[in-house]
Each structure stands twice: as structure tokens, then as C-alpha cells.
Chains A and B, each alone.
Chain A
């Protein structure tokens, strides 16, 4: 291995005023031309590692460091971010705050001008960076007119304009839609392969970029927990950090197959070699998947605190008085012929018809610009439609994308009623400043704010999953009985899982499940099919301003190509299996059927993959022991 570009040697760092170190005794090396993926839960130290690599830690943030850190041979204690910028390009989450100039050309020229390059060198650097990143057509555009994806590419262009040896990226896709995010990952892979640029990328959706990575570093509590190539990382994750497993790896692990797949293609290769792609009769597969989906759902319900009182079932009449006609009496929300035609610009929504029943959980999906956010804003009354009608059985609450926009007080307790805080699992944080909360906690606080006081659901807080049952119990008994009347009839959430890790998504899904059980209809705009599969009963797919698909979640997300979970893509949408639990059950059944009929269908002798013997039809214990466990 050539001289490392990035070298941490027993590096420890503590933020000013922090009780403990954010990075502890970190020792690792990143070689020239490597593509390294940083994995770990929120708060694990990924961002701090990247900020140390570009010199912001400690020069910008202050704090105390111990140990050594060199970047391309430069000691960060002696060289600040300005000097390191010549060898390191850095990209953060929010593209809006990273672009500092008025036009794209100026933005790309800025780092070169800072280095005192001649105007000819600046002009050449700008042209080359723009062409390499495919943004030459944007050069004369004002930066405030660019979309999020374009802006992030421009920021990446500015980071790369000086041709740095190392690029550090901190969740650069978290604010982007999946299409723009995938484009950015593809771009990074091309830079790494064609230019030999060393890439260190922190990301939550590992399945999106694992195939591009040479190596994965997992951080937990500021400590390096795993340093391995992607396959070995997945084997480690199956045993030590299930939250970091990709859905594909979880699927095969539950089915008792190895090795953990790094992508969909590898998963299908493993299944093919094990003979698990041969389908059973359709009805039989459907029954298996349905049975396991029901079991999964029941398992989830068991983990939830019990709800109190008579929560209306989705098919029961609503408790709220409905303002619409008698025929709509069992709907929480009814949208009729909704058109949004701005005075200038194209039509955004066209004749949208949508009905939600009380307690129904609906995912609203579609590409960027399809009209998802606009629809939610109209439902909540933030905007007025050109024509059409919206009838709701009660209040329509809306949680917008950025939870920080809701936080206006000095203490968490002042932001939302006690019951709402308890429901969101924030009862123990009542005395803290809202902006001191983590990203996931802020999201839950914003949800508590929009829910308001009507939270007489009974039982302990759903959000506090890590706490023992009842530890953060909602003061439901003390809540006024009339509070139920304040519970929104419909709760709309706009991209609530942006930048969230899997654990926080699971917590949010459980919280939403609890609200649905209390009779609130949920409409969640999301780009995340895995999250949609985990909480929704129904998916509405928007395209060109109107619903182009509306059906049960299994039907829409299993049959799609882009809007599909990883499990569905691996299994080709078989029997509507969306999650690893039902998918694994289907695989085990196929393997059992194959084992039961060896004469008719012998195992292929050419199978190169180290597949296990067919597992029994009964559910196998999850997470098989990996062949080699990383440190």
C-alpha cells in the first residue's frame, strides 16, 4: 500500500464543553485511491472524523485533541483548513450553505482564486471541473436558481476544482431525492475510478453505495468498531450491529444463506446458486408471505405499549364530526378534483382524487417535483387550490421537512404539551434547549408540536424504545378527557426520514403506528421505499401531478422498478414480499421444497457460492455466524 493520504494515530478529540470525547484513540490509515464508506448510527463520530480530516477539528470548532492526524503528510495541528484545502475537498450535508457565490462559474473559481492561481489557471480549472462533473451547462446560472441536486453537484465541483487528493463527504445525499443522490454516488465512483481520487463517504443508506466501496469503517461511540471490506463488514454487522445491515444482507441472513450480499446482483447470484429463485406455485408463495407479514406486524404490535380506550379501527366510523356529505361519513379526508395551476409556471396538481380513512397509513411517493409537498401543503391549508375541494373530519396537521423551523422556545417543555412530549419520547428532555437535541430528537419534538395537546392515547411513550416500558410514560391519566378531541384527524409528514439512520426510522414508524391506532389517518410523503414498506398499508404514487398508482403497499412496491424495496428487487417482486422477514420465509420455503424433491431438481454442482444447505421451512434463527468476524 502506498503512503496513506489520511492517517489517524491514536487520535482523540473532545468538543469544547462536551462531557466526553467524540473520537477515542482512533487509529487508521486510508490509502491513495481508496473508496472508503463510513458507517454508524447518528452521533457515532462520523462527522467529527470527517471534520478532523479537513482541519475544521480542531481549528474551527476548538476543543482538545490528543494523538496525531496527518492529511497527505500535513499535520493538522500545524495546518488549518485553509492550507489543507489544497489537498482535501470537503462536502457537507446541506448544499444551500456550501455554495457561497452568486453564479456557478464564480463558485467553482472561488477555491482556485483563494489559492492565488493565475486567471488562466482558474479558467482552466473551472472548465475542467465543470466538464468532469457534467455541470458545464450550469456555469452561467445563478446559484439561487439551482435545484438541490444541482447545487450539491456544484458544491462538489468547488470541492474538486483544485484536484485534491482526498475528498471527504458527510452524508451528501441526505438532503437530495433518491435520483439526485444516486447520480452523486455514481459521480463519486467515476471520480474514484478515473481520477484515482481518494473518497471517504459517510452515509446512512449503505445499500446505495456499498457496491462502490473498497472498504467500510464502522464507528460507534467515537470508537472504530469495524474496518473491513464490504462483505466482511456485512458479516460483522449481522452479528454486532444489526441496525447497519442492509435489507439484502438481512434477507439472506434470515434465510440462512451466505455470504452477505454487497448488492442486489450479488444477492441474486447467491439465491440463484442455492436454487432459491425457482418459484413455488403463486398461491402458495402468496400465503407464505401473507402469513409472515401478519406475524411481523403482530410482533411489532407486541413491542408497542398498549393503547388505552377505544381507538377507532380503520373500518369503524370516525369519532369526529365530518363536515362533508353523509356518503363520506367514514372518511378522515376527502380530496375532490384538486387542481393547482400557478399564475406563472406549469400545472402542479391535476384533478387529484384522494380519500383517507381514519387510522389509515398511506405513503405518498413520486419523483421530485411530482407534487407531493404541494399536495400536503394544500391539505394543511398553507396554500389555496385553484379549484377542487378538501374535506377533513377534523384538524389536518402537517410536519414540514425541516424540524428546526418549528423550534422557537428556549426549553423543550415550552414547545409542546407534556403529553405530546411524552408520546414523542421526550419527557426526560423537557429542560433542555431544543437546539441541543439530536437530529432524530428534534424530528420527534417537531412532531409533538404539530400534534399539540390531543394525546390522550394512554400507555408509555412510543418514541422511547430504548427505555424500559413505562420509563417515559405519558401522563395520560392526568390528561383531560377532552384532549382526544384535539388529536388531528389527519397527520401529514413531508420527508420525515431525511438524514435519519435505520434505528431512528424504526422509532418513527412505531410512533406513527401508535397514532394510527388512535384513529389519526397518516399521509407520509417519502422517497424511501424501505420506510414506506415498514409503516404504510397503502401507497399512492404521484406522477405528473396526479395519482398514477394507488393500492396496497405490497402491490405497488413489489411490482415497481424504481419504487421498490431491496427485498422486492432481489426477489423480483415475488408474492409481494417487501421486507427481509417475509422474503426470508419465502426463500426458506423454496429451499425446503427443493430439498424435498432432490430427484426432480438436483442442486447445481457448479455452484461457486458458499451457500448453506437448504434451511427448514420453519423460520430460521436470524444472523448466522459469519465465517470471519472482523475485530
Chain B
């Protein structure tokens, strides 16, 4: 999945703030083992995605991530021998020896799966709502060329995908047996190199070769209400996560035996964690309503410019002057 432009408060904030919110969600998932807290982080990411208008994309990512999470949940009890509550004995297995499945290892597998889902969703949200151009602009001062290379790579992914689809269609139009895989790989590579050459030429004529560093601090982008709101939400979320961890809120011990400290406070803590990142969505001032279909309509065709005078005064034909002396030859090595 990639960046999807939508009319939402989260889409209009600066890249640093959008990234910060997603990082705060990821931080929650990394700091806690408690399934309630992890579920709260996962729910917050999904709800933020839905409120930002990228819920469908996040749902698709979730469906793709579920098998991965399932594998984690299944493998952990098979490879971990910690825990005291045995719920299944495999007996003596070849190469692996004696294998016992414990309740604690099974629960921890589920916790790991839940954490993986929460992290994946936090980064899926980041990918869908943070404009890569804005993000890379943050890094330009550090390394302009690296940032541009990353931008180009991002931009070329859909272009090369379309190229690949076109080549596949063209090969389906060939009568007779299809060409070998090697020939196809060569064709695709050759096409990508052609593209790269064209892009390099375009970069040159846009002045990339003479790129200069922008002046420092000449003009700063003003902080909008949405910037402030999401920044505050991200900071509060991060402080809650770190503070709660230090204070031992939502403690969850798996090994050697399960020990939870679930209480009303834990539930309240989880509710706060889930709601804080969503509060800035309540303010939609300055956000345009999304157009039908989610895309900006095309501009009407511009009026034709009036025809020029069709009978211009006759021009004297230009004859280039020629010198007798031959000009010097200059060899350009590349």
C-alpha cells in the first residue's frame, strides 16, 4: 500500500507530526505485553485509518498480515519451552527431542501476534497518510541526494508496475509459444533502464546537476490547528505509554506463569490510549469535503486562444553566415 490523498485532518498535518503520531502508536505496542493495551493500540490505528478515509486500505493490509500473525502465534509455543502449565505433550520428536506445549508460551505467541498486528497497522497508517514528498523534504537538509533518490524510487514503483503490466499484455498478444522467462526479464530490465535514462535526462534539465542547498530558516511553515492537535495527541500518547510503563500500569507477566493486574484502572488506561489519538479528528475546520469518488475533478478545457494574424509581413529569409575558417573540435568524454 502507498500514500493515499484524502480530505482528513491527519492528511493536512506536517509530515513530522503525522509520523510522530504513528510512532507513538508503535511505541505503545512495543512497550506493553498486556493484550488489552495491544488491542487498544491496534484499535486506535484502525480507527484513525477509518477516520482519515484510508480504512479500506488498512483493512486490506490487516487481512494480509493475519496469516503472518497466525504463524507467529503457532510457532512460538512450539519453539519455547518456558512456562509451567503444560497443555499438550508431543513426546519424543526426531531431531527436536521432547516437546511440551505450555499455556504460557501459547499466550505469549498470541501476544507477539497481536503486537505484530499493532505495529504493522501503525506503519500502514503512516504509509497511507504521510505524504512521502513532505517526509523526504525533512531529510533534504541532511542529505539532498539521498532524499531525492528515495523520492524517485517511490515515484517509479507505480510507473514500473504499469510498464510490467503493459509488457505482460503485449506478450499475451504474441501468437505462438511465449518467450522464455529470461527474455522477458531482459525486456523488463531493458525497459526499466530506458526509463532510468529518460528520468536522468529530465533531472538534468530541471537543474539537478547544479543543485544547491536552500538557505537556512528563511521561511517557516506556520503551525495549523491540526498540526497542534495531532502533535499534542502524539505527545500525550507517548507520555502515557512511557509513564504507564514506569508506573507499572497494565503489568502482564507470562513466564513462568501467567500473572495479570487487570482492573478498572487498566481498562480506563486502555480506553484513554485508544481515544487520545482520535480526538483531533473531531475538529474538521479547514478541511474540504471529499469530492465524489475521492478525487479532484478535472479542470474544464481552457478556451482556445484567438487566432493570430494569418498574414504576417513577409520575413526576410535567414541565411546563416559561414566562415571560411573551421571551428575547433571539442570532444566530450562521458
* Bound CA–CA A137/B173 (angstroms): 39
Contact B173 A28 (CB under 8 A): no
Q: Is B214 touching A116 in the complex (CB atoms < 8 A)?
A: yes
B285 within 8 Å of A by Cβ?
Answer: no
Interface size on A, residues (CB 8 A): 122
| Binary contact track B293-314/A, C-beta < 8 Å → 1, others 0 | 0011011011011011011101
Task: Say yes or no: A453-B176 contact (C-beta < 8 A), given A82-B204, A90-B205.
Answer: yes
In Å, the complex CA distance between A312 and B236 comes to: 81
Annotate A472-488 by CB proximity to B: 1 below 8 A, 0 otherwise.
Answer: 00000000000000101
- B183–A114 CB distance below 8 A: no
The answer to whether B299 touches A137, judged by C-beta atoms less than 8 angstroms apart, is yes
> With an 8 A cutoff between CB atoms, is A212 at the interface?
yes
**Complex interface: chain B residues within 8 A of A159 (CB):** 205-206
**In the bound complex, how far is the Cα of B209 from the Cα of A144, in angstroms?**
25
Q: How far is the CA of A63 from the CA of B170 in the complex (A)?
A: 35
Query: How many pairs, one residue from A and one from B, have CB atoms within 8 Å of each other in the complex?
Result: 269
List of A residues within 8 angstroms of B295 by Cβ:
141, 145
Q: How far is the CB of A336 from chain B (nearest CB, A)?
A: 23
* B179 is an interface residue with CB less than 8 A from chain A: yes
B151: which of A60, A102, A140, A400 is its contact (CB, 8 Å)? A102
Which of B170, B174, B190, B211 is in CB contact (< 8 Å) with A82? B211
Q: Is the CB of A211 within 8 A of B158?
A: no
Q: Once the chains are docked, how many angstroms separate the CA of A22 from the CA of B298?
A: 41
| B312/A85 in contact, CB under 8 A | no
Taking a contact as CB atoms under 8 Å apart, the answer to whether A408 and B302 are in contact is: no
Q: Is A59 engaged at the interface, CB distance under 8 Å to the other chain?
A: yes
Give the residues in chain A near B252, CB-CB below 8 Å: none
Against A, the Cβ 8 Å flags (1 = close, 0 = not) of B108-144 are: 0000000000000000000000011100010010000
Contact A100/B319 with A137-B296, A142-B5 known, Cβ cut-off 8 Å: no
Question: A408 contacts B171, CB within 8 Å?
Answer: yes
A29 to B219, CA, bound (A): 41
Q: Which of B5, B212, B322 has a CB less than 8 Å from the CB of A141?
A: B5
Interface string of A169-200 (1 = CB under 8 A from B): 00000000001001100110110010000000
| A404 CB, min distance to chain B CBs, angstroms | 7
Answer yes or no: A40 CB below 8 A from chain B CBs. no
> Contacts A114-B206, A408-B183 known; A77 to B330 CB distance under 8 Å?
yes
Q: How many Å lie between the Cα of A159 and that of B334 in the bound state?
A: 25
Q: Does B210 contact A (CB under 8 A)?
A: yes
A404 to B171, CA, bound (A): 11
Contact (Cβ within 8 A) A406 B201:
no
- Check A211–B174 contact: CB distance below 8 A: no
**Residues of A409-430 whose CB lies within 8 A of B:** 409-410
B172 neighbours in A (Cβ, 8 Å): 382
Given contact pairs A28-B318, A380-B173, A100 touches B311 in the complex (Cβ within 8 A): no
A97 touching B175, Cβ below 8 Å: no
A260-268, A272-280, A463-471, A584-592 - the one binding chain B? A260-268
Residues of A within 8 A of B (CB): 9-10, 16, 25-29, 54-56, 58-68, 77, 80-83, 85-86, 88-90, 92, 94, 96-103, 105-106, 110-111, 113-120, 122-123, 134-135, 137-138, 140-145, 147, 150, 158-159, 162, 179, 182-183, 186-187, 189-190, 193, 211-212, 214-215, 224, 227-229, 231-232, 262-263, 265-266, 269, 377, 380, 382, 395, 397-400, 402, 404-410, 435, 446, 449-453, 486, 488, 628, 630-631
- What are 9 inter-chain pairs, A to B, with CB distance below 8 A? A58-B330, A82-B210, A89-B205, A116-B212, A117-B214, A159-B206, A395-B175, A399-B173, A405-B170
